[in-house]
Structure 1
Amino acid sequence: MSRIRRKNQDLIIEVASEQFATHGYAATTMADIAKAADIPKPNVFYYFSSKDKLYCAVLETVTQPLLEASRPIEELDNPVEALSQYIRTKLTISRDHSHASRVFASEVMSGAKVLPEGIRDQLFKQSQMIINKFSAWTEQGLMERVPPHHLMFTIWAATQTYADFSWQIGSVMDKPTLSDEDYEQAASFLTQLVIQGCGVKTLIASDVEG
């Protein structure tokens, strides 16, 4: 794909993300997106032949990072390191894909009727992997016996709220947008909350060797 084509597609997706997040899928037209992007409407249809396809492209900009975010949980044996990386990555997604995250949240709340089946399956498998890993850490004595489902839901809620409820958070903090320092503080606090609250322990070499 040429650099110009990718740049144009990225612009359209970015603008569409904001339009869908602000006005909703039904109320947003391709003409609205073209106007907001300051490009001719035929150009939008050139890259995305329908609003449905553009909507799916918007969803993919956040679902793919979300799917990749759990890699530390899957690959690392040390729960402290894995959870720290996972929480930080989830917050980064909320910061960098805030509009698309709100579109995804709206899609989920409406029953995920448009979310491609392949992505739904991947998200489900990811959830099962995380739950199984949490359960394994509990059995290894590396975590207190907390409900693995609810721990996962809590991490989701605590991290994704920074995108899905960004207006409310900004209003309370009296800031139009949060700074990198704010996100760093949030990551440190949430990590501490989860690790200390769930009694998560660091895996040491003797645990692996034994």
Structure 2
Amino acid sequence: MPEDRAPTRIQKKNRAAILEAALNVFSTHGFRGATVDQIATEAGLSKPNLLYYYRSKDAIYAALLERLLDTWLDPLRAIDPDGDPLQELLGYIRRKLEMSRDYPRESRLFANEIIRGAPHIHAVLSTDLKSLVDETAHLIRHWIAEGHIAEVNPYHLIFSIWSLTQHYADFDVQIRAVLGDAEPDPYPGASAYLDQIFTRLLTPPG
């Protein structure tokens, strides 16, 4: 799409429709299984019309991931160095779980990209993401040294938070099949459980 003038309302609407459709298709079929034809059909546009905005499947996928990464890192950025350390970390865990509840397709899209070796975002993972995680790990070490939280490996703490929260989006079908009618909404129970285990893990001895 030409970039020499601001997009019109219709162009903005069509771009948004394409990305929303692509999110559905990619999160369901993965990158390899998705096609431009599927995305165009889902968006209610012709294939030539879609290709006016994005030249290829790769271009659509890259645009989705760029938007997703910024959203995905927001909860980590929101940790307040001056707040209560335990409550800041528990708040981060709750925000990550809420993202799994509210953005399951985005979570699956991100998981699929990582499983494929992160061909589109590897540079971001090793620069922007790494810098943010390094900064957070440094803050956690400071809180440990000050005696505010128990001694843990900061990086593996962050990894465990990611895995325990994003599991509820990436394996939603499995979770709901196991819980059945006994717990039709898994998120309240998950939130209480994660609060419990991380409070026990992070509370200093004595």
8 Å contact from structure 2 (residues 36, 57) kept in 1: yes
Of 174, 196, 200, the match for 1:192: 196
Of 97, 112, 119, the match for 1:106: 112
- Tell me if 1:90 matches 2:96: yes
What is the CA-CA distance between 1:161 and the residue it aligns to? 0.8
What is the CA-CA distance between 1:43 and the residue it aligns to? 2.5
Aligned match of 2:156: 150
Q: Deviations along 1:142-161, whole A, 9 cap, x unmatched?
A: 11111212111110001111
Alignment of 1:30-69 (within 5 A): 30-69=36-75
Between the aligned partners of 2:45 and 2:22, the Cα distance in structure 1 is 12
What is the CA-CA distance between 1:200 and the residue it aligns to? 5.6
Between the aligned partners of 1:149 and 1:119, the Cα distance in structure 2 is 14
8 Å contact from structure 1 (residues 9, 47) kept in 2: yes
Between the aligned partners of 2:31 and 2:50, the Cα distance in structure 1 is 16
Aligned match of 1:208: none
Of 27, 34, 56, the match for 2:33: 27
Between the aligned partners of 2:195 and 2:45, the Cα distance in structure 1 is 43
Q: 1:108 to 1:184 in 2, by over 3 A?
A: same
What is the CA-CA distance between 1:3 and the residue it aligns to? 4.6
8 Å contact from structure 1 (residues 70, 86) kept in 2: yes
Between the aligned partners of 1:119 and 1:44, the Cα distance in structure 2 is 29
Q: 1:138 to 1:20 in 2, by over 3 A?
A: same
Q: What letter corresponds to residue 195 of structure 2 in structure 1?
A: T
Q: Please report the TM-score for the alignment, with normalisation by the length of structure 1.
A: 0.83
Between the aligned partners of 2:190 and 2:8, the Cα distance in structure 1 is 38
Of 117, 122, 131, the match for 1:125: 131
Between the aligned partners of 1:63 and 1:97, the Cα distance in structure 2 is 12
Between the aligned partners of 2:98 and 2:67, the Cα distance in structure 1 is 13
Aligned match of 1:206: none
What is the CA-CA distance between 1:170 and the residue it aligns to? 2.0
Q: Please report the TM-score for the alignment, with normalisation by the length of structure 2.
A: 0.84
Cα root mean square deviation, aligned: 2.4
Query: Structure 2: which 5+ residue stretches go unaligned?
Result: 1-6
What is the CA-CA distance between 1:62 and the residue it aligns to? 2.4
- Tell me if 1:161 matches 2:162: no
Q: 1:65 to 1:55 in 2, by over 3 A?
A: same
